[in-house]
Chain A
């Protein structure tokens, strides 16, 4: 088993073997989560703090449940409405929490790189639950697990990522992960929502959705990030739906067994047809939510193991 990371800040720093390690362990947690008694004690006695500088319901709930099922003491700090508003800096907040000796810190922040900054100032394990437009590593890992379980592999697939790539940390983490696992990547977006220079990441770019979907095994839809836009990227949501919304007709251009994914929350009728999203033969959107808890359990388990090993070494060092 390989997993050396001290923090989980992004997919960028993970080796392919580490990704496989997370997915293998997560598979086992999927089984645990399907039992009636879901309790494990691998994080017993450890403290997990969820610090969300941006509001989130789904991700925060997923992390909270993951921690509780592993036996950790979980605390949620809704930082979006607390001392940060009183002018405290990110680093002061981090230092304050650090003094309370948490073991795992789960952080979401609206600025790219903010979680990296915070991780450099604390001595617990930090999990990035999304920073600005940068990365959202557990989302990419849960997507990978969903794909692997649906397709039987996470290599040599043609994956189309469609929608608001420019503002999406989900797209970035997925691009990096799927690239590392040697898949064929296609990005489909109106040119205003395609980040500059992205062609250098080794993917094909399309502004015609039908062409982009041709022969795809996996279709990943992204949410239109209205809150992260400063206006005027698309003419209207109805024109966007017409050209880039996924419906049965457009999906027919992909492989007949292509799966449909969405990180949620969905804007039905903007980027995806409601009926298609609910079609259990094509959509794995509910599976993604289930895999999310398992992947987060796996990540926290692995980080906690490294944390224990590191502290163990320190104690041995003190005794010697």
Chain B
């Protein structure tokens, strides 16, 4: 079937343009742009709303295997579709970890329940324990898109350098979590006035720079392809810039929460605002927004991390980290757009084209022949966030009760409509 999306505001992250136009979907791909509607096409009037490539979200935690009560592939997929996320890049920090081709085959099979595309990252080391590399070759053959031990940081530099050297020969992408694990041990907040006032064990922002510098030195040593999952502090940015200038094959992401919230949001020990790494100062938040605008930070991720009620209803230090974010990703991103900090194509680029390019995926583009993974959204529609309206099995969002702007109207994956908002 041919679908013609007329009267749209096309947000093109490749050309960095934001202009009225139309788009035609044929055979699951983008068949034409700004061409007249073909005969017999189903015409959808977009009413002047934004049409952009669907979001490619690196670093989504899904509870399978091990914690299906927190999130299944199906619930995550439904949440993603409603949030305009058309490709989920799932994390391997499951129980057990995705560290064998067999485990990868299992999740690949389970992922068929999702209405959006799901690709899997595999663990870099067995059991994510930081010592012995996984079967990187077999895992690549089985479809692993990148290798990471997620938030668990190895102190075994020798093992890491070997894993990265081996991965380089296969062209595999390594995902790092820049954080010095000793300096940050036991911390649940960023050190400073607020953490001191609340008496929460805290870590210096310097731990992130130390972790990043170590990883970048290993990249220089091994020539590996490297993506830092979350840069969240201003002090880490010069190291990142130097590595890029030196021509290392390095990219970096940040999380939507570190772009839209700061440490003060924790307020009276609100555990829905506990993250790994912890929320930072407002100065750091602004520096991250600026780094996304300048392109120094390439990718914005939701870092979707489901946690059940029990694991959040605990004293702050003991509570679980992370938030569900697939459905709040786009409206949260609209906050920085509406604040005037960034234009829409640049913002969307960090959520679509940049992650897709880094992973070697054809998604993230508004060009003829690209997969018709699209999101139609109203950047201005206001709503009051109610966490129990989320499709995720877990409801741990920091935006509960918040006034937000930006609503997903329709989501297409491979030309198929997977979500349409009730009108």
List chain A positions with a Cβ less than 8 A from chain B: 12, 89-91, 109, 111-114, 116-117, 131-135, 169, 172, 195-198, 200-201, 230
The answer to whether A111 touches B317, judged by C-beta atoms less than 8 angstroms apart, is yes
The number of chain B residues with a CB under 8 A from chain A is 24
The answer to whether B196 touches A113, judged by C-beta atoms less than 8 angstroms apart, is no
Q: Which of B91-99, B197-205, B293-301, B387-395 contacts A (4 or more CB under 8 A)?
A: B197-205
Using Cβ atoms and an 8 Å threshold, which residues of chain A touch B401?
A: none
The answer to whether B191 touches A112, judged by C-beta atoms less than 8 angstroms apart, is no
Residue B1, interface by CB 8 Å:
no
Residue B39, interface by CB 8 Å:
no
Bound-state Cα–Cα, A117 to B185, Å: 24
Bound-state Cα–Cα, A134 to B201, Å: 10
Residue B38, interface by CB 8 Å:
no
Bound-state Cα–Cα, A172 to B198, Å: 9
Q: Which of B114-122, B308-316, B346-354, B406-414 contacts A (4 or more CB under 8 A)?
A: B308-316
Partner of A113, one of B186, B194, B200, B204: B200
Q: Which 4 A-B pairs have the closest CB atoms?
A: A113-B269, A197-B193, A133-B199, A111-B315
The distance from the CB of A23 to the nearest CB of chain B, in whole angstroms, is 24
The answer to whether A169 touches B199, judged by C-beta atoms less than 8 angstroms apart, is yes
Interface of A is mostly: mixed
Residue B192, interface by CB 8 Å:
yes
Bound-state Cα–Cα, A148 to B192, Å: 32
Residue B318, interface by CB 8 Å:
yes
Residue B268, interface by CB 8 Å:
yes
Residue B195, interface by CB 8 Å:
yes
The distance from the CB of B180 to the nearest CB of chain A, in whole angstroms, is 15
Bound-state Cα–Cα, A258 to B150, Å: 55
Q: A195's closest neighbor in chain B, by CB?
A: B196
The count of A-to-B residue pairs whose CB atoms sit within 8 angstroms is 72
Bound-state Cα–Cα, A201 to B192, Å: 11
Using Cβ atoms and an 8 Å threshold, which residues of chain B touch A111?
A: 315-318
Using Cβ atoms and an 8 Å threshold, which residues of chain B touch A197?
A: 191-196
Partner of B202, one of A90, A172, A196, A201: A196
Using Cβ atoms and an 8 Å threshold, which residues of chain A touch B314?
A: 89-90, 117
The answer to whether B199 touches A198, judged by C-beta atoms less than 8 angstroms apart, is no
Q: B193's closest neighbor in chain A, by CB?
A: A197
Q: B190's closest neighbor in chain A, by CB?
A: A196
Q: A53's closest neighbor in chain B, by CB?
A: B315
Using Cβ atoms and an 8 Å threshold, which residues of chain A touch B204?
A: 196
Q: Check A196/B269 contact, CB under 8 A, given A89-B314, A91-B313.
A: no
Partner of B315, one of A112, A135, A196, A200: A112
Pairs A–B under 8 Å by Cβ, sample size 29: A89-B313, A89-B314, A90-B315, A111-B317, A111-B318, A112-B198, A112-B200, A113-B198, A113-B268, A113-B317, A114-B315, A116-B269, A131-B199, A132-B199, A132-B315, A133-B200, A134-B199, A172-B199, A195-B191, A195-B195, A195-B196, A196-B192, A196-B193, A196-B195, A197-B194, A197-B195, A200-B193, A201-B197, A230-B186
The answer to whether A172 touches B315, judged by C-beta atoms less than 8 angstroms apart, is no
Using Cβ atoms and an 8 Å threshold, which residues of chain B touch A109?
A: 315
Bound-state Cα–Cα, A170 to B383, Å: 44
Using Cβ atoms and an 8 Å threshold, which residues of chain A touch B196?
A: 172, 195-198
Given A112-B315, A116-B269, A195-B195, 7 other A-B contacts at CB below 8 A? A90-B314, A113-B317, A114-B315, A132-B199, A134-B199, A195-B196, A196-B195
